[in-house]
Amino acid sequence: MTIEEIRRAYNAQPFVPFVLHLADGRGIRVPSREFVGGALGRTVVVHRPDGRMHVIDLLLVTDLEFEGGTAGGGPQS
């Protein structure tokens, strides 16, 4: 997974909520752009509605799953 793929999902018009699937089996849901705090080199920060956050190493992201059934290839343009 690359930062460019994450950026493409983040910048999609219209935004499509997605799940970052990690190598350890977890899935981190990104319901809207406002939940992504930024990408710093190899990491991305995803905030949760309860105030907690995840700092995710992009090398551990195995797949992006988009709501509506599009997985791995990004939102359809």
* DSSP assignment string, 42-66: TEEEEE-TTS-EEEEEGGGEEEEEE
CATH number at residue 55: 2.30.30
pLDDT of res. 77: 40
pLDDT band, very low/low/confident/very high, at 12 (cuts 50, 70, 90): very high
pLDDT band, very low/low/confident/very high, at 69 (cuts 50, 70, 90): low
Kindly give, in sequence order, each residue whose CB lies less than 8 Å from that of residue 77, ignoring residues fewer than 6 positions away: 12
**DSSP single-letter state for residue 5:** H
Please tell me the pTM assigned to this model. 0.80
Q: Is residue 21 part of a domain?
A: yes
- Structurally, the chain folds into a number of domains equal to 1
76 pLDDT above the threshold of 60 = no
Domain residues for the domain of 32 are 3-64
pLDDT of res. 14: 94
Mean pLDDT of the region 12-17: 94
Q: Is residue 73 part of a domain?
A: no
Question: What is the chain's alpha carbon radius of gyration, rounded to the nearest angstrom?
Answer: 11
The maximal CA–CA distance of the chain, rounded, in angstroms, is 32
pLDDT of res. 43: 87
Q: Is residue 24 part of a domain?
A: yes
CA distances from 5 to 1, 13, 14, 23, 52 (A): 7, 14, 16, 17, 24
Average pLDDT, the chain: 85
